[in-house]
Chain A
Amino acid sequence: MQSIGEKMNNNYKASISDKYKAVVIGGSAGSFQSITKILSIIPSDFPLPMFLCLHRLKHVRNGFVEALSIKSNKVIVEPYDKESIKRGGVYLAPANYHMCLDLGNTLSLATDELVNNSRPAIDLTFDTSAYVYREKLVGILLSGANKDGAAGMARVKEKNGLTIVQDPEESMINAMPNAALAATEIDLVLKVDEIIDFLLLLHQKVKNV
């Protein structure tokens, strides 16, 4: 008999494709360790840009990107407004700003109202990434305490991007993946190690594209 893990494995291997052009990751309380783990394993030549929107303290400008960078092979930047998206760049939404994508390879920051009680809001980063990358986007939602990201995931799905959530069983704070599962069709429900495995396989596929 096949274990659930193995089934999942086959499942996510089938989803790997060189059509993907970007990865967007959302998370909040409880996802810090997962995200540092992911970043510690992603190789420095992973070519797709990655957009990270993680809930964070609103009035602490410094320290977060440094903490995330300690184990990362990649340089993580908190972009300036209208910064161009580079191949392989990793972009973290700055404290107290929404981070959105605009056509023409551009990141835009904004300070309008909180969305789902959050700024940066995962929904906005996901929504605008889906608009720009459409079916070429991989959306990954990690654990977290509210429903932010669910509507964004629905948008990724609507544009035929790939939707992945962290297995709610893996985390105590699972409101976020559960809300996404309720809001839309999720292609893959993976544990963090499987998400990493997925990204490594994706790396093999896309690195020469």
Chain B
Amino acid sequence: MNQVPEKEIEIAELRKLTQVIKDKYDFEFKDYAMSSFKRRIKRILELYKFKTVDKLVEVLESTPEFFEEFLSEITVNVTEMFRDPTFWKVLREQIIPNILLNHDKISIWHAGCSSGEEVFSMAIMLREMEVLDKAKIIATDIDTAIINKAKLGTYSLKNMDLNSKNYEKAMGKATLQKYYQESGNEAILDKSLVQNVSYRRHDLVKGGVFSKFDLVLCRNVMIYFNQSLQNDVLIKLHESLFKYGYLVIGSKESLIWCDISNKFIVVNNEEKIYKKVKD
């Protein structure tokens, strides 16, 4: 942000933008949280040196190839391996064993998987628990470019410090280094971990319910939505769970004020783990 504030982006401009995106590309952004959506748009204007939102609208209308790029920039992809290590501990010690008590297979959906660190974390944990072969994992995101990055499983080495620290706090069995090879500035993760993961594009806003799962992780995705959209998406997440399946959201998100909260019970409030108890 510059010292002197530039002209603020008006709500009317954003409305026009989201309408064009909807009409032309069938994606719906009108219910993204205004404060952060505005900031993302401002960032895109700066990045591409567009002077006004109108200019951006014009480019989106005339250049379909630009849309995927736009989608990549509008979304926030910040993620970590074993983000919130205490959560992974609870998952390993309590949730996964509980699911496997009654099933010999476990189905998992990473909704909003970003560059895939969360998926690798899951796979590493399951392998260490010696149950990876029992898991069917689907990882989705709205942003195709970031899914491709997730498939690649190659991360900047400088992120591995934090990832390793998280791993040690969460698992503490081996070291994370066991699971990747260094090449230049990059860490290439062991692909065999995710050989059975299916990665696809899926939009939580406009996409439908496509399967049922024992465990759904949708962490740090809905914070970019306003409350009414959160409600709508939660209805779909609820429908995507088997009865007594688990839903996990980000550590600073909450189900308390959502319409659907009465169909879940809190399993772990600190780690935001919920269990579906009503259809």
Q: Which residues of A contact B (CB under 8 A)?
A: 59, 61, 78-84, 94, 97-98, 100-103, 106, 108-113, 115-116, 123-124, 127-128, 131, 147, 150-151, 154-155, 158, 179, 182-184
Contacts and interface: CB of A to CB of B under 8 A. Distances in A.
A110 B36 contact: yes
Interface of A: prevailing SS: mixed
Contacts of A147: 3
Contact of A81 (B5, B34, B254): B254
23 contacts: A80-B253, A81-B250, A82-B227, A82-B254, A82-B257, A83-B254, A101-B35, A102-B35, A109-B223, A109-B252, A110-B33, A110-B36, A110-B39, A110-B223, A112-B40, A127-B5, A150-B3, A151-B1, A151-B4, A155-B5, A158-B5, A182-B3, A184-B4
Contact of A154 (B3, B34, B35, B39): B3
Contacts of A98: 36
Contact of A115 (B1, B40, B254): B1
Contact of B39 (A94, A109, A124, A150): A124
A82 to B, nearest CB: 5
Contacts of A127: 1, 5
Contacts of A100: 33, 35-36
B11 to A, nearest CB: 9
Nearest to A58: B162
A113 B36 CA distance: 11
Contacts of A108: 33, 35-36, 223
Contacts of B96: none
B115 interface: no
B93 interface: no
Interface string B126-148: 00000000000000000000000
A63 to B, nearest CB: 14
Q: Which of B1, B220, B226 is packed against the most chain A CB atoms within 10 Å?
A: B1
Contacts of A81: 222-223, 250, 252-254
B3 A151 contact: yes
